[in-house]
């Protein structure tokens, strides 16, 4: 029937309108910003940079490889790589972003930057309350504003963040096992070299001792 869809839509609207006076389940709107709808874990707004430890800049996982900058479709990421290396959250010297800006007025929340980052350094935030009356730079976020802790990441995306933490722990365990194996091998080589040197010294000393005249046998 022509117009059946419109009639059904209007009927649903009427049911919600009148029903909202008698039942809460018919209330399809909320009193924002006082009230917020609960967010599902897969919610995504704009990217942020994850840091480990307490220092939001030293602990940034980003090593300024610039892959995300190249892959971002609307080119809203600007990165300037540092000239020097600084210790990261675990004390390992790393390059870092001297500048890391995202223009979220251009960002289309596609998450490609997250997908391509090899260091789990950039993730999608869930915060959408970002409006600004500063049209010149109010939505241009710098690395200081973009940096958020791993605890925050765990809070907003627990499943994903737990998997990332487990992956890092596994990688750390592998690296430590490799380092221990290398140290053990080095110690074994050094011990063998020391044993060989001792044996050689003893072998050298033995003939000399045999050549010594035995006391009382001389005429």
Which of 51, 52, 76, 88 is the binder for ligand SF4 (CB under 6 A)?
76
- For residues 166-205, which are near ligand SF4 according to CB under 6 A? none
50 binds ligand SF4 (CB under 6 A): no
As measured in angstroms, the least distance from the Cβ of 57 to ligand SF4 is 13
As measured in angstroms, the least distance from the Cβ of 115 to ligand SF4 is 8
As measured in angstroms, the least distance from the Cβ of 84 to ligand SF4 is 17
How far is 51 from 158, CA to CA, in rounded Å?
A: 16
Phi, psi angle pair for 144, to nearest 5°:
-65, -40
What is the SS3 assignment for 4?
helix
What torsion, rounded to 10 degrees, do the Cα atoms 56, 58, 61, 67 define?
Answer: 110
Region near ligand SF4 per CB under 6 A, out of 17-25, 61-69, 165-173, 179-187: 61-69
| Dihedral (CA of 18, 21, 27, 31) sign | positive
How far is 208 from 202, CA to CA, in rounded Å?
A: 10
As measured in angstroms, the least distance from the Cβ of 68 to ligand SF4 is 3
**CA–CA distances in Å: residue 184 to residues 154, 187, 189, 197:** 37, 5, 9, 20
How far is 47 from 112, CA to CA, in rounded Å?
A: 10
Region near ligand SF4 per CB under 6 A, out of 34-42, 62-70, 154-162, 202-210: 62-70
Q: Are 151 and 54 in contact (CB under 8 A)?
A: no
Query: Which C-beta is closer to ligand SF4: that of 116 or that of 140?
Result: 116
- For residues 86-145, which are near ligand SF4 according to CB under 6 A? 102, 107-113, 116-117, 119, 121-122
How far is 70 from 65, CA to CA, in rounded Å?
A: 10
Which of 23, 53, 74, 138 is the binder for ligand SF4 (CB under 6 A)?
74
Count of residues that bind ligand SF4 according to CB under 6 A = 27
Enumerate the H helices of the chain as residue ranges. 4-19, 67-71, 112-116, 143-146, 150-156, 158-211
Which of 48, 51, 59, 72 is the binder for ligand SF4 (CB under 6 A)?
72
Query: Which C-beta is closer to ligand SF4: that of 79 or that of 139?
Result: 79
Which of 51, 52, 59, 63 is the binder for ligand SF4 (CB under 6 A)?
63
Chain positions contacting ligand SF4, by CB under 6 A: 47, 62-68, 72-74, 76-77, 79, 102, 107-113, 116-117, 119, 121-122
């Amino acid at each position: 029937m022509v117009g059946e869809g419109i009639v059904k839509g209007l009927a649903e609207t009427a049911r919600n309108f009148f029903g909202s006076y008698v039942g809460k389940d018919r209330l399809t709107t909320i009193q924002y910003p006082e009230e917020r709808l609960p967010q599902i874990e897969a919610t995504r707004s704009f990217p942020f940079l994850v840091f480990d430890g307490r220092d939001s800049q030293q602990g940034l996982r980003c090593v300024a490889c610039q892959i995300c900058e190249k892959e971002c479709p609307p080119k809203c990421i600007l990165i300037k790589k540092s000239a020097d290396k600084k210790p990261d959250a675990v004390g390992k010297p790393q390059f870092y972003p001297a500048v890391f800006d995202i223009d979220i007025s251009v960002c289309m929340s596609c998450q490609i930057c997250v997908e391509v980052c090899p260091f789990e350094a950039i993730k999608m935030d869930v915060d959408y309350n970002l409006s600004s009356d500063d049209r010149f730079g109010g939505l241009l976020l710098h690395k200081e504003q973009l940096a958020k802790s791993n605890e925050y990441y765990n809070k907003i995306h627990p499943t994903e963040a737990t998997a990332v933490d487990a992956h890092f722990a596994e990688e750390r365990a592998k690296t430590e096992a490799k380092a221990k194996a290398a140290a053990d091998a080095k110690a074994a080589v050094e011990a063998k070299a020391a044993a060989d040197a001792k044996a050689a010294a003893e072998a050298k000393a033995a003939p000399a001792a045999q050549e010594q005249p035995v006391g009382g046998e001389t005429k």
